[in-house]
Amino acid sequence: MVCAPVNRTIAGIGKFPVNYFWLAAIFLVAFSLVAVLPVSSSAQSFEELYLVTSPTAGILPHGGYLFYGGIGPESSLLFGVKIGFHDRLMLGATFGIQEFIGRGKITVNNRPGFQVRLRMLEESEKNPAMAIGIDTQGENRYLDDEERYERKSKGFFAVISKNYRSIRDISFHCGINYSLETRDEKGLNAFCGTAVEVFPGMSILVDYNAAFDDNDSAVLTHRTRGRGYLDTGIRFDYMDNLRIKILFKDLLNNYIPEGGVARTVEIFYVNYF
C-alpha cells in the first residue's frame, strides 16, 4: 500500500510537507558546502560516467582507476571499481549488500555486476561522443525468483553525449539499451538526461529512464506503473579527483512495491597508475 505524503507542523513554518522540507534543507546544505569547501580547479575534474543511473559516453583516461561507494534505501550498499585503457575502453565490476545497517541478516547480492564501455566516436565541436557497452548491475536487491534486479540493469547499451559551454557547462545524453533480465519482459528501452553546472564544482543532474522493458501490466511480476523513472540529484567535484552525489530517485512514483522518493549518496574517487 502506498501512503500519501503526510503534512506536519514544523515550528516557525506551519503546515508544510515534510518530504519537501527535508529536500529544501538538503539543498541549503549543498549550497553551504559549495561556499566553504574547495572545489575542483577545472569545471569537470573527470568525465561524467553516469548521470544518476544512466550511462554516458564518458570514459576514464588511460591508466585511470575509479573507486565507487554508495548507500541507498534499506541500508543498501554498492561498491565498485573501474579502470580506463587507451582513452577508449573502460572495464568495471560492482557488488551490492542489502540491510547492512540495523538488525537481522545482511544480504549480499548473489551475483556481481560487470561493466564494459568502448568509446566509438570522440566528441567534436559539431558532433557528440558515442559509446557502446554492457552493464549488468541493476538497482537495489537482486530477486532470485524473478532473475532480475528491482530496477533492471541496462544490459547492452549505446549512448551519445554532447557538452556545451557558455557561462556554465551543460551536457546532454541520450541512449538506448537492451537489458539481459528478460524472464518477465524484454525489448528495447530508452534513456536521456542532462547535467547543468550551477557553480564551479556543483551541478544539477536530471535523468529519465523510460523503462519500456518493465511496464506491461499484463505480466504478473511487472513492477512499474508505466511512467518511467525520473531521477535527479546534485553533484559536487572537489580537488580534481573526488566526486560526491546526493540523488533523489523515482520522482514519478513509478515503482509499485514501494512508494516515495528513494534517497542515495554516492562517493567517487579517481586516480592514475
Whether 10 shows a pLDDT value over 80: the answer reads no
> What is the rounded distance in angstroms from the CA atom of residue 195 to the CA atom of residue 47?
12
pLDDT above 90 for 232: yes
Q: What residues contact 72, with CB distance under 8 A and at least 6 apart?
A: 78, 140, 262, 263, 264, 265
Reported as a pLDDT band with limits 50, 70 and 90, residue 51 is very high
Mean pLDDT across the stretch 246-266?
93
Model confidence band, residue 149 (pLDDT cutoffs 50, 70, 90): very high
pLDDT of residue 28: 53
Lowest-pLDDT choice from 31-45, 68-82, 85-99, 199-213: 31-45
Question: What does the pLDDT average to over 123-129?
Answer: 94
b/e per residue, 122-132, with b = 16+ CB within 10 A?
ebeeeebbbbb
Q: For residue 46, what pLDDT is reported?
A: 81
For residue 146, is pLDDT > 50? Answer: yes
Over residues 193-200, the mean pLDDT reads 95
| pLDDT for 1 beyond 50 | no
Overall average pLDDT of the 150-155 stretch: 95
- Round the average pLDDT of the chain to a whole number and report it: 86
Task: Count the Cβ atoms, other than its own, within 10 Å of residue 269.
Answer: 13
Domains delineated in the chain = 14-272 (2.40.160.40)
| C-alpha torsion 198→173→78→108, nearest 10 | 150
Segment 143-161 mean pLDDT: 94
Give the per-residue pLDDT at 55: 97
Confidence (pLDDT) at 132: 98
**Among 57-61, 163-167, 181-185, 186-190, where is mean pLDDT lowest?**
163-167
Residue 25: pLDDT band (50, 70, 90) is: low
* Res 220: pLDDT: 80
pLDDT of 23 over the 80 cut: no
Say what the pLDDT of residue 108 is: 85
pLDDT bucket at 45, cuts 50 / 70 / 90: low
